[in-house]
Structure 1
């Protein structure tokens, strides 16, 4: 179940860059800040932002980060700064902040729930850090979520990596992101790495967390959107579709607007 992107990469690249530039000019900001993880989504997003000619600040925010993630992030940032004079970078090591936070909250809970909650805490500390840098430099926080993550399975942290000012690649499937990454010359180390959110301090991949690959989830998302019949699905396809529907259902609270109790004033 391998998905091949059908986007016209040059056209899409131009469209997103123009959209970013127009939005920044309309909102009268200096440019963008992007959290760099060592993954393909943040690499593509930062490269798109760099092409606007506006200020781009790449931020590394390690928290007990696996060395492979750190090295990929550094490689991408150094490459980007060589290519674009408007790109700068800063590292904000949040490990001590994270450890201090853990000392101040109770941790005697179910291990699985605790680990997931702490992983989401990492993402929220990073969001706060990005908005700090955005505030002092007059920048917008550019999101790095793709369409499958943001609108398919909700694979992001609410008010963590989901807390952004604008989302330049959120209408691109993961296969589209990889196609654009190849076109943009993203380092091979990133292109060949297994996607991982890096929130657990190890090499746990997104596929291990989700139970299905991005190619499979793209297929399921399109099947669901097109309301295709499941009569002819293989056993694996049935399993993948089940995973997709379950995640899509339980994560609607992330994808929908915050519920508001509207008061009847008559």
Structure 2
């Protein structure tokens, strides 16, 4: 369903790298910290950061992580370190922290809500960890969200992977991130793997959770931006458009600024 991209990959790469370097220099920080998941978004983001020549700390944060995710992430980190001397890495295993957290909060009989809350807890523990590493090293937390996730369907955790200092790839669709990843020569194991957030400790993919592929959701996002409605389509296209609209609606609380209760002047 996705239209063929006209992305000028080399120029986009240069533009993002210059943007990152300028932002970091103006902020007077030493570089960036990036959480590495074994997915294409974090691989592309960390490679873009590495090209700035500034310090880049890649952080692995396993929590009962699927072996395939760990393997892909480490393959990328080792490749990146060989290519860029400014890249270092550290592993902070959060499994015991996560298990201690579960022991100290109430359980729930609503299995669906419980599993989702715990998945979001993983993301928030990782956000806290990234900011710790950023704080002691004078770094910025670089976000790894892409456009369809961040502004289309809101497929991220509020104050988890959504808690970042800057977002270098948030104006790129997922398909464009893959194009950039291919240009940057990130490991083929990552480019060919089915996207997954890894928050449930199993092999479920993003498509399993969303009900549609990224190509389909990119198509729906483009159509929605052009003012189309579900009534303009039939069959699978109608189904995908409705999935996109539903997710875009229920996740507006992530995409919009925090609502502030404004007090009328006469009451102050």
User: What are the equivalent positions in structure 2 for 1:1-266 lying under 5 Å apart?
Assistant: 1-228=1-228, 230=230, 233-266=233-266
Q: Deviations over 1:215-237 (max 9, x none)?
A: 00000000000113655523100
Structure 1 stretches of 5 or more lacking a match? Answer: none
CA contact (8 A) 2:141 2:166 kept: yes
CA distance in 1, matches of 2:231, 2:198: 37
Tell me by how many angstroms 1:109 deviates.
2.6
Superposition TM-score, scaled by structure 2 size = 0.97
CA contact (8 A) 1:142 1:168 kept: yes
Instruction: State the 4+ residue runs in structure 1 displaced beyond 6 angstroms.
Output: none
Could you say what secondary structure the match of 1:4 adopts? coil
CA distance in 2, matches of 1:94, 1:231: 46
Could you say what secondary structure the match of 2:265 adopts? coil
Q: Deviations over 1:195-229 (max 9, x none)?
A: 00000001100000000000000000000001136
CA distance in 2, matches of 1:5, 1:73: 27
CA distance in 2, matches of 1:160, 1:49: 20
Aligned length: 266
Could you say what secondary structure the match of 1:57 adopts? strand
CA distance in 2, matches of 1:169, 1:49: 11
User: Which deviates more from structure 2 when the two are superposed, residues 233-242 or residues 211-220?
Assistant: 233-242
CA contact (8 A) 1:4 1:175 kept: no
Structure 2 stretches of 5 or more lacking a match? Answer: none
CA distance in 1, matches of 2:4, 2:195: 17
CA distance in 1, matches of 2:104, 2:3: 45
CA distance in 2, matches of 1:126, 1:3: 35
